[in-house]
Chain A
Amino acid sequence: MPDYGLSDYLQFVLSGLSTGSIYVLIALGLIAIYNVTGVVNLAQGEFVMLGAMFAVTLVGLHIPIGFAFIGSVLGVVLVGMLIQRLTIHPARHAPEVSLIIITIGTAIALRGLALLFWGTTPRSLPEFSPGPPLNVMGAILSRQRIWIMGTAGVVLLLLYLFFEFTLLGKAVRACSINRRASELLGINPELMSLLSYALGAGLGAIGGIVIAPLTLVDYNMGLVLGLKGFVAAIMGGLVNMPAAVIGGLALGVLESFTSGFLSSGIKDAVAFLTLFIILLARTTSIKTTLQEKRAQRQARPKGR
């Protein structure tokens, strides 16, 4: 095990936080969609991929990064709404198994279309503000990572303001709490479903664009990212956004330390193992098991 100093630990934490911010963005998109529609969007990672791809294409057309950012997000939002209309809406009464398979099919189709349009060669996006990495108390942090964390922070703030203070945001929240009741109050749940997909797609796209300069952008990048975002999301039970934020950041930091202390090949396994452990923890609650055992003992007739 290599000899690490304090600044190295700080480095792990900071780079983990920035990676975790991406997972947070993806998780928030998943939660936004699940809260309103009840559908687990297994194609969330593809929104991330499309966001990155659109941005790469726009920047390739010499559009300045700011406009490329906005254009890409709008493009992915449009795609998200189309998907909701074309694949989820017709199947909204289908059993859960069907819906899950539909989202998987959508994810695969999107991946294939990306392959068709952009081919197999990985693309890259230049950093938002080119320059040498910053030195934070001995930890080396690339400028893009600052952008990632900053963007995630701004997005979180905007989401909070949206859900707390705007009428539309409150309508979406109402619909996620009780669909039928909000329908009675005049909120259109179909529109809310569409909007939730728009929101989810947008959040995914933002995540994709900010991470694009740091990673290889190709048609396959969505799969693993989507999975890790899902892990963060289920730390909040797919409904709790603040918990997902903590979960996503924690996952990022955990991965960072694993990569530093074990090997970077294993770090993907971290997310999967974490997923496993969380799933186990959610289902086998020790308290309930003890209660069950006590009830069983009391229910058994005496003398057995």
Chain B
Amino acid sequence: MSIRSVSKSWTRSNLIGLLVFIAFIGTLPLWVRTPYALSNMVLIGIYSLVTIGLCLLMGYAGQISLGQAAFFGLGAYGSGILTVHFGWSPWIALLIAAVITAVIAYFIGIPMFRLRSHYLAMGTLAFGAIVTIVMNEWKVYTGGPTGLPGIPRFTLGAIPIKSDIAYYYLAWGTVIIGLIIALNLVRSRFGRALRAIHDSEPAAQSLGVDVDRYKLITLVISSIYASVAGSLYAHYIIFISPNAFDFSVSVRLVLMVAVGGLASIWGAPFGTAVVILLTMALREIVPLLTRYGSGEHQIIAYGLLLVVIMIFMPDGLTVALVRAWRRLLNSETLRRRLSAYRRRP
């Protein structure tokens, strides 16, 4: 698994890339036809925020998290409970929920990072499971398995942010801010330390990098990303239930990061989009193929995709596609054909 080469600051091509991306996202609603597609775009945005944070944790700090959905859920339920049961403003609730999540992540992280990868994987899985159980059992505040309804909308002054379009811009605006922060982090001293840790922990430690502290900070950062996304989710869907934050969601988040390339910040929203669009497509196709017709069959595709990508394309789908494209452009036969074409009068 390679991490692409370091650049010290924002090069011109990176800035152009960012502006192109912003333009693309900004104009997307204009040519998206159906409300169904637009709401999926909103969800892609929300989940992208989680995966950017997870990418920092998994790709750069090299830590497996099978419980990221728990942080997502903590943000969602935090916002939900504070606004529904205590009547707080959604914006304040978002901040407080993020703080709470960050604190929980900090205390979870302290013991966990001494563990080797497989223990950490199981530890995060267990954490996620405990959070799910709390969501299900603490019925007074969370409403238990039947969920928490009636979550209010974000408001700008007196105007609620209700329509899909408004929410689209809110979500993706946050994603872009998150992207910029993450990209800056990765290019900074912090990011270089993370890369050193990823390549060789003992070597990094011998150079004076406080490995445990960096891993912990990355975990807290990723939990904040997930929590903010969770709050956005809660105020979008208005009704949340525990099964939106369980282990299978954590797995899907890992898949999104893997598809985008574990060590690629830009890959995170791309991988998220691929997985969600794939889910949409599968939901249409699978009922036509099998008599069961339940959308659950998509998990086969997830599993197979994970395995195939990890074996053949550990740098992610983006890099593999780019490589394949370059190989196609460089191929001898193509060049010969093009030059033959050019020589004709």
Q: Which residues of A contact B (CB under 8 A)?
A: 40, 42, 87, 90-91, 94-102, 104-113, 115-116, 119-120, 223, 227, 230, 234, 238, 265-266, 268-269, 272-273, 275-276, 279-280, 282-284
Indicate if the CB atoms of A104 and B304 lie closer than 8 Å. no
Q: Could you tell me the distance between the alpha carbons of A238 and B118 in the complex, rounded to whole angstroms?
A: 10
Q: A105-B305, A112-B300, A112-B303 are in contact. Are A98 and B310 (CB under 8 A)?
A: yes
Contacts of A109 in B (CB 8 A): 299-300, 302-304, 306-307
Show 17 A/B contacts (Cβ-Cβ < 8 Å), sorted by A: A40-B118, A91-B310, A94-B314, A96-B117, A101-B254, A101-B306, A107-B303, A112-B298, A112-B300, A112-B301, A115-B292, A115-B297, A120-B296, A234-B119, A269-B129, A275-B123, A276-B123
One of B108-116, B176-184, B189-197 contacting the partner: B108-116
Indicate if the CB atoms of B303 and A110 lie closer than 8 Å. yes
Indicate if the CB atoms of A120 and B111 lie closer than 8 Å. no
Q: Is B136 an interface residue (CB 8 A)?
A: yes
Q: A108-B299, A279-B119 are in contact. Are A227 and B306 (CB under 8 A)?
A: no
Contacts of B111 in A (CB 8 A): 279-280, 283-284
Contacts of A279 in B (CB 8 A): 111-112, 115, 119, 122-123
Q: Could you tell me the distance between the alpha carbons of A275 and B130 in the complex, rounded to whole angstroms?
A: 11
12 further A-B contacts with Cβ under 8 Å, apart from A97-B1, A223-B247, are A87-B307, A94-B314, A95-B1, A99-B310, A100-B117, A104-B66, A108-B251, A109-B306, A110-B303, A111-B299, A119-B292, A275-B126
Q: Could you tell me the distance between the alpha carbons of A266 and B302 in the complex, rounded to whole angstroms?
A: 30
Q: Is B15 an interface residue (CB 8 A)?
A: no
Q: Is B319 an interface residue (CB 8 A)?
A: no
Indicate if the CB atoms of B136 and A265 lie closer than 8 Å. yes
Contacts of A104 in B (CB 8 A): 66, 251, 254, 303, 306
Q: Is B23 an interface residue (CB 8 A)?
A: no
How many B residues touch A, CB cutoff 8 Å? 48
With CB as the reference atom, state the residue of chain A lying closest to B305.
A105
Q: Could you tell me the distance between the alpha carbons of A279 and B67 in the complex, rounded to whole angstroms?
A: 16
Q: Is B311 an interface residue (CB 8 A)?
A: yes
Q: Could you tell me the distance between the alpha carbons of A124 and B211 in the complex, rounded to whole angstroms?
A: 50
Indicate if the CB atoms of B130 and A97 lie closer than 8 Å. no
Indicate if the CB atoms of A106 and B130 lie closer than 8 Å. no
Indicate if the CB atoms of B306 and A120 lie closer than 8 Å. no
Instruction: Quote the shortest CB–CB distance from B117 to chain A (angstroms).
Output: 4
Interface residues in B259-311 by Cβ distance below 8 A to A read 262, 290, 292, 294, 296-307, 310-311
Q: 8 closest Cβ contacts across the A-B interface? A: A105-B306, A112-B300, A109-B303, A108-B303, A283-B114, A105-B307, A40-B118, A272-B126
Q: A40-B118, A100-B118 are in contact. Are A227 and B125 (CB under 8 A)?
A: yes
Indicate if the CB atoms of A108 and B136 lie closer than 8 Å. no
Q: Is B147 an interface residue (CB 8 A)?
A: no
Q: A112-B303, A234-B119 are in contact. Are A102 and B310 (CB under 8 A)?
A: yes
Q: Could you tell me the distance between the alpha carbons of A230 and B303 in the complex, rounded to whole angstroms?
A: 20
Contacts of B58 in A (CB 8 A): 97
Q: Could you tell me the distance between the alpha carbons of A22 and B66 in the complex, rounded to whole angstroms?
A: 24
Q: Could you tell me the distance between the alpha carbons of A227 and B292 in the complex, rounded to whole angstroms?
A: 28
Indicate if the CB atoms of B121 and A273 lie closer than 8 Å. no
Contact with A along B232-273 (1 / 0, CB 8 A): 000000000000000100010011001000100000000000
Indicate if the CB atoms of A105 and B302 lie closer than 8 Å. yes
Indicate if the CB atoms of B314 and A42 lie closer than 8 Å. no
Contacts of A100 in B (CB 8 A): 64, 117-118, 121
Instruction: Quote the shortest CB–CB distance from B330 to chain A (angstroms).
Output: 27
Q: Is B214 an interface residue (CB 8 A)?
A: no
Q: Is B329 an interface residue (CB 8 A)?
A: no
Instruction: Quote the shortest CB–CB distance from A51 to chain B (angstroms).
Output: 19
Indicate if the CB atoms of A116 and B297 lie closer than 8 Å. yes
Q: A95-B1, A112-B297, A116-B290 are in contact. Are A227 and B122 (CB under 8 A)?
A: yes
Q: Is B137 an interface residue (CB 8 A)?
A: yes
Q: Is B62 an interface residue (CB 8 A)?
A: yes
Q: Is B103 an interface residue (CB 8 A)?
A: no
Q: Is B169 an interface residue (CB 8 A)?
A: no
Q: Is B127 an interface residue (CB 8 A)?
A: yes
Instruction: Quote the shortest CB–CB distance from B115 to chain A (angstroms).
Output: 6
Indicate if the CB atoms of B114 and A97 lie closer than 8 Å. no
Contacts of B311 in A (CB 8 A): 87, 90-91, 94, 98, 102
Contacts of B123 in A (CB 8 A): 275-276, 279
Q: Could you tell me the distance between the alpha carbons of A278 and B247 in the complex, rounded to whole angstroms?
A: 21
Instruction: Quote the shortest CB–CB distance from B218 to chain A (angstroms).
Output: 15
Q: Is B16 an interface residue (CB 8 A)?
A: no
With CB as the reference atom, state the residue of chain B lying closest to A269.
B133
Q: Could you tell me the distance between the alpha carbons of A186 and B66 in the complex, rounded to whole angstroms?
A: 39
Q: Could you tell me the distance between the alpha carbons of A284 and B111 in the complex, rounded to whole angstroms?
A: 7
Q: Could you tell me the distance between the alpha carbons of A234 and B111 in the complex, rounded to whole angstroms?
A: 16
Q: A42-B121, A108-B251, A112-B297 are in contact. Are A102 and B290 (CB under 8 A)?
A: no
With CB as the reference atom, state the residue of chain A lying closest to B63.
A97
Instruction: Quote the shortest CB–CB distance from B263 to chain A (angstroms).
Output: 11
Q: Could you tell me the distance between the alpha carbons of A71 and B27 in the complex, rounded to whole angstroms?
A: 59
With CB as the reference atom, state the residue of chain A lying closest to B111.
A280
Indicate if the CB atoms of B117 and A272 lie closer than 8 Å. no
Indicate if the CB atoms of A230 and B122 lie closer than 8 Å. yes
Q: A94-B314, A109-B307, A227-B129 are in contact. Are A116 and B122 (CB under 8 A)?
A: no
With CB as the reference atom, state the residue of chain B lying closest to A116.
B297
Instruction: Quote the shortest CB–CB distance from B82 to chain A (angstroms).
Output: 24
Instruction: Quote the shortest CB–CB distance from B197 to chain A (angstroms).
Output: 13
Indicate if the CB atoms of A102 and B126 lie closer than 8 Å. no
Q: Could you tell me the distance between the alpha carbons of A275 and B128 in the complex, rounded to whole angstroms?
A: 12
Contacts of A115 in B (CB 8 A): 292, 294, 296-297, 299-300
